[in-house]
Structure 1
Amino acid sequence: MSPKVIAAVRDGLRAAADPVKAPEMQAYMKSDMPFLGVQKPARVALVRSLPRIDDRDEWLDVVRTLWREATYREERYVALTLSGDRRFQSVALMPLFDEMIVTGAWWDYVDEVAARRVGPLLRSDPDVIRPLMLKWSTDADLWRRRTSIICQLGFKAATDVDLLTACIDANVDDRDFFLRKGIGWALREFAKTEPGWVRAFVEARPGLSPLSRREALKHL
């Protein structure tokens, strides 16, 4: 079935293509890969129309093929959506998510994987994912590092503050915009639950970038 599903995705995207929106979307995302001009509501409708896949290996083949063979960015968006099928989530998928992070290498892909794929696995299997996030926090790849910082978005009271601290402190001196923005984002979200903790955290780190500091304290 997988070739039929893959063909259905590609045909569906092309049928929904908007040549006027395509260059606008590509310019906004600063993407080398072209767009077809298919916006999120149409992509969601397409995914819902696809045949149900119950076999894990077949599902994984569809996700990998759409991701690896993509010629348009929307194909990767669909692959990313399909990768979240709750029936198949396990730590065994971390190589797939790692591939998406490293080869996607941009915030529209990475943030989805970090918060909606890696994050839930951190909740369910902290003994496996926590050490990996600590390792990623010092990785040469900045998108792995950003993932380690923002993977707890939405955890609220369940936030592992020691992990958050370690991942931020490992990157506090980095000048990369996406790391600085990610630090501020993670702290801003946690401030909704623990404002005092975040305020003290920021005050204790004079080396925190102005961007991170501003984002962290935005609503305090």
Structure 2
Amino acid sequence: MAIDLERLVRYPANDDDWVRTLLVGGLLTALSVLIVPAFLLYGYLLRVLREGMVEGEEPPGFDDWGVLLRDGVVAFLIVLVYQFVPLLVAALTVGGSVLAILTGSDVGVGVGLFGLLAGLALSAVLALIFGYVTLIGVANYAHEGEVGAAFDTTVLRAVALDGAYAVPWLYGVSLLLVANVVAGLLGFVPVVGVFVVFYAQVAAAWIWGKGFADAMGLDDGAAEGTPAAVV
């Protein structure tokens, strides 16, 4: 499918109040280690997903904080369930490698370091693969408004195998990779980096929502009428 890259990149700034939204989102991104800001950020990106489903022209604002928090907690738990396997592999890898390194022997240290690097690489690959499906589950929750919808295997299978979702997913991931590289290069001014990352997250969430809707064959009315879209 053809992607209007210019429209996608401009989307997060396509609103008169976009600077305020960027400032709030960047602040929440910077404070994500405090948990609650992370939930609020998840809730906001869920709202952007819905906007993508109806091809909204302007990014949503930060309001109805209680709704954002609730949706964010649910979205986080859904992601946690889907990412259980990659997290488990990472935990076992790190644990086993540390034990090997602590033996103090040259062999143990060598095996431990190799196992750590290999395990982390495997965990990263698994996280990306599982993340492809995770996003479909989160998007279906955003669309249906029911937690069970996040684990609807029929929807997961249909959307995952549809290029209408796969291509936008790849674009979104690429945007995030570029944003993180830019943020890394701006490491000497880390405050700027979080805003770059948030901007990319908004653009990615929008194109993911659009890809999900296209794969599902949703029209604007169906997406706007879902219980989850009523805030």
- Which structure has the higher relative contact order (CA within 8 Å, separation 6+)? 2
Whether TM exceeds 0.5 here: the answer is no
**TM-score, length-normalised on structure 1?**
0.21
Larger helix proportion of the pair: 2
**TM-score, length-normalised on structure 2?**
0.20
